Structure formats: C-alpha cells, structure tokens
C-alpha cells in the first residue's frame, strides 16, 4: 500500500459541491453533524481514503466483516447546494500524517469540483452550555458576511489555541490553494458527545447552503445525552451530601 491510497467507489458527478468535513474531535460535534447529513439526505459513497498514518486497525460491521480504517467521501444531494461529506473514525497519528492526509482530502475535493468547504467541529468551554453559539474562522475576511448573517460569531483571536487537526489544516492548506474555507465550531462543554452543539452547527449550514433539516432523530440523541447528564449531576449532588472518607477524617 502507498502511504495514502484513494479508492474510487462510485463515479459521482456532483454539481459544484461544497465539502463538509466532520471527523472526530471535541464533543464529536463535527462528526455528529456530518453523519446527520448522511442520515437525512440521499447520499452515495464515492471515495475511500486509506493511509498508513491511520491506526493499524479494522472495524467489524454488523455482518462480522472487517473494514480497513479509512475516511469516506459521500456525494449528497439537497434541495440547496450539492454536498461532498467527509467522515471517518480517525485522524492521523503524527504531525506529518495530518498534513499528508489533509492534502489528499483537498485533492479529492478539488477533483470532484469543490472550491468551497466547511470544516465542522466543537470548541470546548469547560462548562455545560445553556445557549449554543457557533464560533467561526475563515480563510478570507470576505467570507464572514454570510456567516455572520447566519448567526456565526467571530471573536478576536479565538479559539485561543487555534484549530488543530484536519479541520485546522483544511483551512491552512486550503487557503494556500486559494479555496474558500470556513470552520464552524459549536460551543460544547467538551466532556460529552454533544448533539445540541451539532444541531447549532447544522442550522448555520441550512441557512448558508439553502437546505432544510428535520431534527427529530438528533433531538432523540440529545434527550438521551440529557438523561446521562442528569444522572451524572444527580450522582454529584448525592456525593456532595454524603461526607467522604476525607471529610470524616478531619471531623472526627
């Protein structure tokens, strides 16, 4: 196998598609959002990208069949813009691996006619979120107008640590190629998988790209997570009331 191999699964001819990237990251916000697009719209798997910088691993499907770790491009038709949705379960395992992989992703996207892309992700706030804002970053200040209209916030020098991984490099390397790229980062506590943050990000895409989503099944997942959060809070409250061993030691 070469360091990176691109497998053509189907010959797709999407019309002027927008790349949407949602690989694993903070709160799995980007991954949840990208996968939700695949659930809600008709989609066709068009490319697989294998890389020796991915973990040496196969996943096992519900038939017991092994599939080599890869990233996947799906052609998606919506009532608005056509999409090319990039998903997967892994990022690269080294600095150089991230660069090589992102270049390969950009090669595929360009070959399929993309000149605009959205990298989706989460930005950790460290506390539970009441109102879900979406933070933005772009490769060109001219791109901010539409996004600001759709509710995206641009804050000076935020996120402070920059954007790491494939999402960051899609902007950094995409800009060097002259592509119009934006990163949409849903605020999220950073502690849990966060479907509500994914919804906030998707709502921006709806507005900007002209399609509509029904959030029923995402709401279901969000409610499940709420229950989990509720239970955790309950446990914390209980443990706050019951004196711990350490408390006892100093009281007695």
Instruction: Choose which of 227, 242, 250, 251 interacts with its own copies (CB under 8 A).
Output: 250
Distance CA 176, CA 103 (A): 11
Q: Which of residues 74-113 bind its own copies (CB under 8 A)?
A: 92-100, 102-103
Residue 10 tokens, joined: 């189907």
Minimum Å distance from CB 77 to its own copies? 29
Closer CB to its own copies, residue 109 or residue 183?
A: 183
Q: Is the four-CA dihedral 152, 155, 157, 160 of positive or negative sign?
A: negative
User: How many other CB atoms are there within 10 angstroms of residue 201's CB atom?
Assistant: 30
Instruction: Choose which of 9, 10, 66, 235 interacts with its own copies (CB under 8 A).
Output: 66
Residue 113 tokens, joined: 């006619």
Cα angle: 8, vertex 100, 194; to 5 degrees: 80
Instruction: Choose which of 139, 187, 202, 213 interacts with its own copies (CB under 8 A).
Output: 139
Query: Which string of x and - marks every residue 210-249 that binds its own copies (by CB under 8 A)?
Result: -----------------------------------x--xx
Are 157 and 219 contacting, i.e. CB atoms less than 8 angstroms apart? no
Q: Whose structure tokens read 């600001």?
A: 148
Residues that bind its own copies (CB under 8 A): 1, 3, 50, 52-69, 92-100, 102-103, 136-141, 144, 154-159, 162-166, 168-169, 171-173, 175-176, 181, 183, 245, 248-250
């Amino acid at each position: 196998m070469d360091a990176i191999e691109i497998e053509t699964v189907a010959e797709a001819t999407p019309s002027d598609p927008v790349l949407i990237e949602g690989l694993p990251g903070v709160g799995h916000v980007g991954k949840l959002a990208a996968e939700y697009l695949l659930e809600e719209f008709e989609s066709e798997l068009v490319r697989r990208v294998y890389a020796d910088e991915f973990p040496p691993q196969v996943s096992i499907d519900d038939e017991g069949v092994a599939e080599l770790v890869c990233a996947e491009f799906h052609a998606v038709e919506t009532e608005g813009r056509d999409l090319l949705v990039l998903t997967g379960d892994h990022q690269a395992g080294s600095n150089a691996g991230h660069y090589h992989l992102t270049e390969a992703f950009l090669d595929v996207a360009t070959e399929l006619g993309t000149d605009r892309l959205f990298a989706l992700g989460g930005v950790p706030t460290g506390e539970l979120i009441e109102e879900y804002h979406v933070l933005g970053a772009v490769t060109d200040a001219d791109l901010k107008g539409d996004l600001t209209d759709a509710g995206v916030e641009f804050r000076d020098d935020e996120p402070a640590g920059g954007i790491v991984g494939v999402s960051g490099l899609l902007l950094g390397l995409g800009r060097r190629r002259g592509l119009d790229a934006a990163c949409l980062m849903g605020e999220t506590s950073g502690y849990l998988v966060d479907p509500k943050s994914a919804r906030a990000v998707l709502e921006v895409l709806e507005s900007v790209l002209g399609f509509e989503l029904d959030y029923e099944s995402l709401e279901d997942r969000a409610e499940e997570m709420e229950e989990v959060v509720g239970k955790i809070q309950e446990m914390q409250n209980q443990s706050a009331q019951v004196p711990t061993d350490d408390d006892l030691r100093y009281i007695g």
